[in-house]
């Protein structure tokens, strides 16, 4: 693998990580689940020791949760291309939550600090697309 292949893999995997955050913020669960392989393992930052296995189970888990106003900010993304078809990644996420929105208005900003967590990922190429084979989250700080 040459330098340009490695850089392309890093860019595509970074896009995948950011796309996950955007789809999650928008509650687009079917598209979000499509970012995972059929047999993927996903552990939420709030339940790092309880992985959900399989794309359908991941979709069901997301769909069972309410869509709350909020935004996830991904930072410190480091992708390592292990081969042409496998990469690992680490990222930090700040999750800003909102409270209900008045009719037609913006959501009210939560008075609590954002949740800060991280993800460790194993990402694989399936055809022309990159997908999460494993995504393990953990919270780094808890709320007071």
Number of domains in the chain: 1
- Residue 71, sorted as left (phi over 0), alpha (psi -120 to 50) or beta, turns out to be beta
Per-residue pLDDT of the chain (144 residues; tens, 9 = 90+): 899 999 999 999 999 999 999 999 999 999 999 999 999 999 999 899 999 999 999 999 999 987 778 889 999 999 999 999 999 999 999 998 887 767 767 777 777 888 899 999 999 999 999 999 999 999 998 777
Handedness of CA 87, 93, 99, 103 (dihedral sign): negative
Residue range of the domain that includes 48: 3-100+111-141
Question: Per the domain annotation, does 105 fall within a domain?
Answer: no
Question: Per the domain annotation, does 92 fall within a domain?
Answer: yes
Question: Per the domain annotation, does 24 fall within a domain?
Answer: yes
Q: What CATH number is associated with residue 117?
A: 3.10.450.50
Question: Per the domain annotation, does 106 fall within a domain?
Answer: no
Q: Is 1 exposed, middle or buried (0-12, 13-18, 19+ CB in 10 A)?
A: exposed
């Amino acid at each position: 693998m040459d330098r340009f292949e490695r850089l392309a893999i890093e860019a595509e995997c970074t896009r995948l990580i950011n796309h996950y955050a955007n789809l999650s913020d928008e509650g687009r669960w079917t598209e979000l689940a499509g970012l995972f392989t059929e047999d993927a393992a996903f552990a939420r930052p709030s339940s790092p020791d309880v992985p959900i296995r399989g794309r359908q189970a991941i979709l069901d888990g997301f769909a069972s949760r309410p869509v709350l106003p909020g935004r996830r900010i991904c930072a410190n993304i480091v992708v390592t291309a292990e081969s042409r078809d496998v990469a690992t990644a680490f990222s930090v996420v700040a999750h800003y939550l909102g409270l209900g929105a008045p009719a037609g208005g913006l959501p009210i900003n939560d008075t609590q600090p954002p949740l800060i967590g991280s993800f460790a990922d194993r990402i694989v190429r399936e055809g022309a697309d990159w997908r999460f084979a494993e995504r393990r989250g953990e919270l780094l700080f808890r709320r007071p």
